[in-house]
Amino acid sequence: MTQVANPPLENASVQDWVAVFAGALGALIATLDISIVNSALPQIQGEIGASGTEGTWISTGYLVSEVVMIPLAAWLTRVLGLRNLLLMCAVMFTLFSIQCGFSHNLTAMIIGRVGQGFFGGALIPTAQTLVRTRLPPHQLPLGMTMFGLIVLLGPLVGPVIGGWLTENVSWQWCFFLNVPVAAGLVTLLLLGLPKEKVNIGNFVNADWLGIVGMTTGLSCLTVVLEEGQRDRWFESDLLRWLSLASVVGFVLLAIAQVTSKRPVIKLRLMLNGSYAAVIFIVMVVGMGVYSILYVIPQFLSGVADYNAEQSGRILFLSGIPAFFMMPILPRMLRLDIRAPVLIGLCCFAASCFMDTNLTAQSSGGAFVVTQLLRGAGQILSFMPLNQASVGAVSREDAADASGLYNMARNLGGSLGLALIGVFIDRQSDAHVQSIDQSVTANSPLAQAQMASQTAAMGAQNGGDMAMGHLQAMAQLNQTAQIQALIISYTDCFYVLGVALLAMIPLVFLLRPPRDPAVAAEAH
């Protein structure tokens, strides 16, 4: 009996790959722009005359508008068409980038950043949608690997580029750099995507109740999370009103889920156990990634006296494993995706636990091994989760699933930064009190140290022992503050490690690829 050979699998066309590369490039400039600007924030604040508190809105404005736009991208795709939406976002993102570069006051800068975040936010989920819709099933792992690398490396490369530009050129080039990149993006979009007609009907008949509710709920929640610690949470009238507005917005969104024929965001996708597991895991991984991007530079600048460029180099170490693993990741994703996610979470958690041994003498070298291990863990976690997020739903729901997935990752980052700020402040105060209680007048060691410091300081002040005693007390207090802060940072790493390990049971709910084409390619 003659065995009939399986027909060869059809590969994506050159035009399909051009479209995928265009989406990847758009996601890169969107994810890069938040971290590249953060590294130049002190110089930007000084140039435009903004205080520290005011300057935080340069970052917050971007995050708020980005979080709002991400879930709207699927609806806008149905209204404008994917090509028209991406072209509009690329052009507007560039124009707002130019405005930021030429800004000389806080108002103009914030408007520019809000515009950047809004139009840049659509570039992230649409990149994932392009991969899902333009590539055949057996090439999806390669496309998803490309998308995941972009999303992961953007925040890591940003501090290096931003720090170098700020130190060697000027902070304006953190924004002007987007102009040539966006020009390349527009060219690829024109070549890779077909023309589409605008569908006014989808605009008129849109789920406006859901759009208003989601926009209000997400924007207010993001502001509360970003500004809560600085404004002491509910002691601020503004934050109380914003919290109430956020609750009302989410109630409206919930009502729209029931009353609308086509909700702006399909929360019913969360009824899919595999997809829900992806969302919860990616939120926690997002919390971990963004928290690490905050804690390590804070430690290096406050304890080891590193500048932004030096800290950026340490952060970039976690991106190195991605380059070495790139050839094998697509093959891994064609098999059971649960294994790499499990290994990735364990590596990420282990790297956090290894960083609980930091001391006042630790510097960037203390993070080399842990950053490399952390990078391997992040890439092994993110890549399969990207694949699982679209593999768990139908092709028709891919755009909505992508928007919800990317929104969850960003919300996880915002939530992580908010919680980590509160945690560090409270732990630091608690550890200062504990150190103060241990260094008492009844401690012979403390008395001997104080006497030695007082004598040394007094000698430097011409024998004025009273002044020497005050200086010795100030130095002791500063030492206690630094030690308390170091212990608080190690506490952060410990909590992050525990949170990552807590996600392991959800890994077993993930659905491996079941597409016959994928299975055929794997074997």
The answer to which of 36-40, 175-179, 206-210, 462-466 has the lowest mean pLDDT is 462-466
The answer to which of 113-117, 433-437, 486-490, 500-504 has the lowest mean pLDDT is 433-437
Between 481 and 219, the more confident residue is 219
Tell me the two tokens of residue 162.
């931003």
Q: What is the reported pLDDT for 516?
A: 37
Give the span between the Cα atoms of 350 and 371, in whole angstroms. 11
CA dist 253 → 14, 202, 500 (Å): 41, 18, 30
Does residue 49 have a pLDDT over 70? yes
pLDDT in tens, 396-421: 777 777 778 877 887 787 777 777 77
Cα-Cα-Cα-Cα torsion 400, 222, 272, 507, nearest 10 degrees, comes to 120
Between 29 and 414, the more confident residue is 29
Give the span between the Cα atoms of 158 and 312, in whole angstroms. 8
Tokens 């709207």 map to which residue? 72
Output the DSSP codes for 327-384.
TTHHHHHTS-THHHHHHHHHHHHHHHHHGGG--TT--GGGGHHHHHHHHHHHHHHHHH
CA dist 204 → 75, 117, 265, 390 (Å): 12, 25, 17, 28
- Angle at the Cα of 279 from the Cα atoms of 274 and 284, rounded to 5 degrees: 125
Strand, coil or helix: what is 20? helix
pLDDT band (50, 70, 90) for residue 468: low
Share of the chain above pLDDT 70, in %: 81
Tell me the two tokens of residue 438.
């241990």
Pick from 145, 412, 427: which is nearest to 290 by CA?
412
Pick from 387, 249, 367, 255: which is nearest to 318 by CA?
367
The answer to which of 175-184, 452-461, 487-496 has the lowest mean pLDDT is 452-461
- pLDDT, averaged across the chain: 78
Name the range with the highest mean pLDDT among 73-87, 301-315, 397-411.
73-87
CB 417 within 8 A of CB 229: no
Pick from 397, 454, 390, 416: which is nearest to 295 by CA?
416
For 357-369, what is the mean pLDDT? 85
CA dist 184 → 146, 178, 210, 517 (Å): 18, 10, 35, 33
The answer to which of 65-79, 430-444, 508-522 has the lowest mean pLDDT is 508-522
Name the range with the highest mean pLDDT among 135-139, 296-300, 460-464.
296-300
Does residue 520 have a pLDDT over 60? no
Counting beta carbons within 10 angstroms of the beta carbon of residue 393, is it exposed (0 to 12), middle (13 to 18) or buried (19 or more)? buried
Q: What is the reported pLDDT for 523?
A: 31
Does residue 265 have a pLDDT over 60? yes
Strand, coil or helix: what is 230? coil
pLDDT in tens, 422-432: 777 777 777 76
For 351-379, what is the mean pLDDT? 88
Does residue 394 have a pLDDT over 60? yes
Q: What is the reported pLDDT for 446?
A: 56
For 495-509, what is the mean pLDDT? 91
For 492-497, what is the mean pLDDT? 91
Right CATH number for 268-523 from 1.10.3470.10, 3.30.300.130, 3.30.70.1070, 1.20.1250.20?
1.20.1250.20
Give the span between the Cα atoms of 280 and 506, in whole angstroms. 8
Q: What is the reported pLDDT for 339?
A: 84
Is the domain defined by 11-205 classed in CATH 1.20.1250.20?
yes
Does residue 55 have a pLDDT over 60? yes
Does residue 353 have a pLDDT over 80? yes
pLDDT band (50, 70, 90) for residue 498: very high
For 333-354, what is the mean pLDDT? 86
Give the span between the Cα atoms of 311 and 39, in whole angstroms. 9
The answer to which of 73-77, 97-101, 271-275, 514-518 has the lowest mean pLDDT is 514-518
Q: What is the reported pLDDT for 454?
A: 59
Does residue 129 have a pLDDT over 50? yes
pLDDT band (50, 70, 90) for residue 4: very low
Tokens 């265009």 map to which residue? 22
For the chain, state the CA radius of gyration: 25
For 315-340, what is the mean pLDDT? 77
Does residue 255 have a pLDDT over 60? yes
Map out the domains of the chain as residue ranges: 11-205, 207-263, 268-523
For 370-375, what is the mean pLDDT? 91
Q: What is the reported pLDDT for 521?
A: 35
DSSP 206: S
Does residue 522 have a pLDDT over 50? no
DSSP 194: -
- Angle at the Cα of 520 from the Cα atoms of 513 and 17, rounded to 5 degrees: 75
Give the span between the Cα atoms of 139 and 267, in whole angstroms. 28
Residues 6+ apart with CB under 8 A from 516: none
11-205 and 268-523 have identical folds: yes
